[in-house]
Structure 1
Amino acid sequence: MRLVQLSDCHLHADPDARSRAGFPLRQLESVVAAVRAERPDAVIVSGDVSQDETAASYQHAHRVLSRLECPWFWLGGNHDQQDLMRDIKAIHDDIDLGDWRLLVADTWVKGHAHGELGAERIEALVERLSQDERPTLLVMHHPPLPVGSAWLDEIGLKDRDALWQALAPFTQVKAILCGHIHQAFAGRQRLERGEVMVYGCPSTTDQFLAGSDGFAIDEASRPGFRIVDLRSDEWLTWIERIDL
């Protein structure tokens, strides 16, 4: 089973709109073309599909992502309007990956850049985990670990300690995929029963400079995506970049 993660497309209603370092829609088109060549079985887009929170931006995304020759799914980030997303395509909480599951955790907080699950969402996640012992990936927009950039860590997942406490009994949770940070990232959270890996993903548009205390674009980096190959209860993951 090959899963591809895309993230942080930041599209506008205007198809020719610029970002700080490029053209988001054109870059998404190039990324999707590269993903098609990898022949994934499923694709997940981990939030911030839109920049301007318009219906037209989601329509652009749907048109381009529908070129994929596999099922694709999306979730909301802090820039997204999830009602507008659902008008175009459903947001799934539980995605069947054969021997594996992919569970979506919604970290959106109205009016804020940071993320939070809250007690109710964590309780619902625990309930879903209790129903199936298959190896499991979680996907969420905000990272549940510090990533080493002061400004990004300030707007990460605020209640990550509560999340890790809730996940502690569930040995089937192997890794978490996150968006929001616009860069490749790999970290780990050690729990009494073992460790959970956390993976960040490049943006399909601008990349953030790793290790920067303040906001900074990495103009030397390129858009990309993450590939996750799932094999029984093991996995292999890496980043692919595209040439513009």
Structure 2
Amino acid sequence: MAWFDDSVYFSKSSLRLAHITDSHLFADPNGEYFNVNTAEHFAKALAHMAKQSLDGVIFGGDLTQDHSFDSYLLFAELINSSELTCPVFWVPGNHDEIAMLKRISGGQIHSAKHIHTQAMGVLLINSKGPTPAGWVSNEHINEITQRLASVDTPHLVFCHHNPLAINGYLDKHMLENGPQLLNVLVNSGNVAGVFHGHVHNEYAQTFRELSIYATPASSVQFTKNSVQWRQENCGPAYRLLDLTTQDNALTVKTDVVWLNA
């Protein structure tokens, strides 16, 4: 099956989504990442999102920190035991294994990579490369190009890695062919914005007038504008997106929700 073959259609004129990313879970629900209990942070974010009348949640990658399958099972357990009722979609992060993400997909956790309505759509892109840095393969670039050429509605794109440098430590692990991907998206004429995780903080950038947003982590944040590895516990965070269209133009209202630890 090609990457975008599995799709979900919403019979709605608007969409309300949440983007949550970088949970860095362990097999042990008491596991800590830089002295932060990541399972507790993720559960707190899920509880808050459950009250937001969401149509869907997009998980932005780096589910696991210890790379155990039990950490994936914990992710599924935390979602299933929460009051969140909407579908949860995912993109892979550099820590993740796609095969394991597929194993926990089913029911509320959905493996679809194209979410769309009659008037808009969302593409979930695979930026996982052979190293911690990101890479979108030529085959996948072609898939993205073809899918965007086959639709005539405005779309958003989600991936894990930052396609542009953010003047921080994680730049050495950014999406190495980010400008190539961004040029493809801009040249398509129907991409209204890009959202990513990976950098563990909030950023907003532009590329040829294309808006690019980084969503903070649900786990721990990395200090902005620091080339050194520095982290801080600001509490879990996620991003809300309200999507509406008029005259084939997509309006995106988005804010980051910070939940103090």
Is the TM-score greater than 0.5? yes
TM-score (norm 1): 0.93
Structure 1: stretches of 5+ with no match in the other structure: none
RMSD: 1.3
> Could you say what secondary structure the match of 2:254 adopts?
strand
- Which residue identity is paired with 2:77? R
1:55 aligns with 2:66: no
Do structure 1's residue 224 and structure 2's residue 221 form an aligned pair?
no
What is the SS of the residue equivalent to 2:95?
coil
Q: CA deviation at 1:243?
A: 2.4
Gaps of 5+ in 2: 1-14
- Which residue number corresponds to residue 234 of structure 1? 251
User: Aligned equivalents of 1:9 and 1:28: distance in 2?
Assistant: 6
Q: Deviations over 1:21-65 (max 9, x none)?
A: 310001111010011111211100000011112211111111222
Query: In the alignment, which residue of structure 2 is the partner of 1:243?
Result: 260
Give how far 1:98 is off: 5.2
Which residue of the other structure, out of 170, 176, 183, is the alignment partner of 1:158? 176
Pair 1:97–1:206, CA change in 2 (3 A): farther
d(CA) in 2 for partners of 1:168 and 1:81?
29
**Alpha-carbon contact 2:186-2:210 (below 8 Å) kept:** no
| CA spacing shift, 1:98–1:25, aligned 2, 3 Å | farther
- What is aligned with 1:2? 16
Q: Which residue of 1 aligns with 2:99?
A: 83
For residues 5 and 115 of structure 1, the distance between their equivalents in structure 2, rounded to whole angstroms, comes to 19
Preserved CA contact (<8 Å) 1:21 1:206: no
- AA partner of residue 118 (structure 1): S
> TM-score by structure 2 length?
0.87
Query: What SS class does the counterpart of residue 169 from structure 1 fall into?
Result: helix
- Determine what percentage of the aligned residue pairs are the same residue: 27
Secondary structure class of the residue paired with 1:148: coil
Q: Hey, what's the Cα distance between the residues in 2 that align with 1:85 and 1:173?
A: 26
1:183 aligns with 2:201: yes
Offset, 1:81: 1.2
